[in-house]
Amino acid sequence: MEGIKFNKIGVSFKGSGSYVPDQILTNQKISQKVDTSDEWIKTRTGISERRISGLGCNVTDMGYEAALNAIAMANWDIKTVDLIILATSTPHDLFGSAPSIQHKLGAYNAVAFDLTAACSGFLFALITASQFLKGGSFKRAVVIGADQLSSFVDWNDRRSCILFGDGAGAIAIEATNEFDNVIGFEMKTDGERGSFLNLPFKNDKDSIIDNIDFLRGGFSPIQMNGQEVYKFAVKEVPIILKKLFKTTNYSSERVDWLVLHQANQRILDSVGDKLKIPREKILSNLEKYGNTSAATIPLMIDEAIRNNKIKQHDIIATSGFGAGLSWGAALIKWG
Ligand code: ACO
């Protein structure tokens, strides 16, 4: 980064991409491992199956495929990409996986780094990248959301293991001085309620020599208070979206699509009801993929674009929410 290079004022959406691993884990198969049923999972969450990445398919691989698809849709020369932000809580390398994606893509002119904000990660990364573009530092950015929570789920805990799956999505955005299609955004964090959802460090004490202790690296499986996370989502997401509509002078009637973090169909429906957004405008694909954390929003947007649902100039209200606790919303116009 070398300071301000371009005199740009806005952001344009140029492409989307996604990737999910081949392995399908159905509810029925989960019920062979823990005491649950297809009917319970479907009724309580809307999820039927999820994808699980096996050996040879990690966050870097999934993020790379999603980014490649987004760049192809944008029709960009790879060397013109200036910025790659990978939103993930499950990097293949704790020092960061975005540089590996940059290398695999051959995007040697791009600065690349990871950003962690759990299920709000993609939204926070999109806002971060758009601020760089609007500030004039970069022209072209690829924002990726990719997660492999299957590696951190306790597959014996029926209260949480039913929810999560693996996948990646990406969006290609470009600075422009003609308009701004990031109409507005809001971001929030509440660390006080952070204990509702954690993927904590293990705290395995060991000693190096004599009385010099250290903590061995490693993480415990996901710990979740599902009911509290649920209550948080159905309360805070409508509030933040209503605030966003107010500050941008938009109303929910002007929204073509509501793209929420795909956590639970009941959360999607409840938020839609509170905002008086009809069901046919609420995009959902969690039946097939479950909660893929930072990947859900770009995975959903990419599917809707490729299915010709989201069209040029459609208005999308989007919100990510989850661990932290963190949550945010953005109002965007596609194109
Ligand atoms: N199968 C069968 N029974 C189950 C299961 C299961 N998989 N899981 C829980 N139960 C039982 C419970 O033991 C309980 O039984 P009891 O009444 O005898 O004690 C009963 O079902 C009801 O349990 P609840 O926890 O009240 O179920 P709820 O309706 O709240 O659904 C769920 C649980 C699906 C986890 C819901 O709370 C939820 O979706 N919460 C949000 C979680 C979420 O989205 N987390 C991710 C956030 S994003 C991120 O940052 C990663």
Ordered DSSP codes for 48-68: -EEEE--TT--HHHHHHHHHH
Query: Does 197 contact ligand 1 (Cβ within 6 A)?
Result: yes
Query: Does 118 contact ligand 1 (Cβ within 6 A)?
Result: yes
Residue 74: per-residue pLDDT:
98
| Res. 38: pLDDT tops 70 | yes
Q: Which fold has domain 10-179?
A: Peroxisomal Thiolase; Chain A, domain 1 (3.40.47)
| Res. 189: pLDDT tops 80 | yes
Direct distance between the N- and C-terminal alpha carbons of the chain, in angstroms, rounded to an integer: 26
- The residue contributing the CA closest to ligand 1 atom 29 is 44
Express each pLDDT in 224-282 by its tens digit. 999 999 999 999 999 999 999 999 999 999 999 999 999 999 999 999 999 999 999 99
- Residues that are catalytic: 119, 261, 291
295 within 8 A of 271, measured Cβ to Cβ:
no
What is the mean pLDDT of the segment spanning 139-153?
A: 98
What is the mean pLDDT of the segment spanning 171-177?
A: 96
% of the chain surpassing 90 pLDDT: 96
Residue 56: per-residue pLDDT:
87
319 within 8 A of 327, measured Cβ to Cβ:
yes
Residue 255: per-residue pLDDT:
97
What is the mean pLDDT of the segment spanning 303-330?
A: 98
What is the mean pLDDT of the segment spanning 21-25?
A: 97
Annotated domain spans of the chain: 10-179, 183-193+222-333
Q: Which of 30, 41, 44, 190 to probe ligand 1 with, by most ligand atoms within 8 A of CB?
A: 44
Q: How confident is the model at residue 49 (pLDDT cuts 50, 70, 90)?
A: very high
Q: How confident is the model at residue 7 (pLDDT cuts 50, 70, 90)?
A: low
Q: Do 10-179 and 183-193+222-333 agree at the fold level?
A: yes
Query: To which CATH superfamily is domain 183-193+222-333 assigned?
Result: Thiolase/Chalcone synthase (3.40.47.10)
Higher pLDDT, 2 or 212: 212
Residue 2: per-residue pLDDT:
52
| Res. 5: pLDDT tops 80 | no
Query: Does 318 contact ligand 1 (Cβ within 6 A)?
Result: no
Query: Does 230 contact ligand 1 (Cβ within 6 A)?
Result: yes
Residue 6: per-residue pLDDT:
58
What is the mean pLDDT of the segment spanning 21-38?
A: 97
> Poorest-confidence range of 82-86, 114-118, 134-138, 163-167?
134-138
Nearest CA-CA partner of 33 in 149, 146, 150, 119: 150
Instruction: Please state, rounded to an integer, the average pLDDT across all residues of the chain.
Output: 96
Burial of 305-317, coded b for 16+ CB within 10 Å and e otherwise, reads beeeebeeebbbb
Residue 226: per-residue pLDDT:
95
